[in-house]
Amino acid sequence: MKGEYCPHCGNATYHNRGSYRECSQCGYLGWPALQPIVGVGSGTGRTCPWCAQLTLHDVKVLDNGATLRRCSICNYTAIEPT
C-alpha cells in the first residue's frame, strides 16, 4: 500500500500507524506535533514527567528494546532506553 513520501529515504512508504508514522522501507519514525494518541487501550498510563498526569502511554517498542511513549494530554514524547 502506498503511503506518504518518507522524509529519510524518499519512498512512498511512510504510513500513519495511529500514534506515530513509520516508513516500511527504512524504519524512519516520526509524529507531527498534533498527531493524536490512538490505540493505547483503556486505563491509566504512566505518570507524565511534563504534566504529572497518568496519561503517558506506550505506543511502540522499538527493535532495540527501547519504548516510545506519548502523553495523551500534553503530547510529551519520550523514547525510554532498555
Q: Kindly provide the b/e burial profile for residues 26-63, where b requires at least 16 CB atoms within 10 angstroms of the residue's own CB.
A: eebeebeeebebeebeeeebeebeeeebebbbebbeee
Tens-digit pLDDT string for the chain (82 aa): 789 999 999 999 999 999 999 999 999 999 988 888 887 777 789 999 999 999 999 999 999 999 999 998 899 999 999 8
pTM higher than the cut 0.85: no
Query: Using CA atoms, how far apart are residues 80 and 65, in angstroms rounded to an integer?
Result: 9
DSSP code, position 60: E
DSSP code, position 72: T
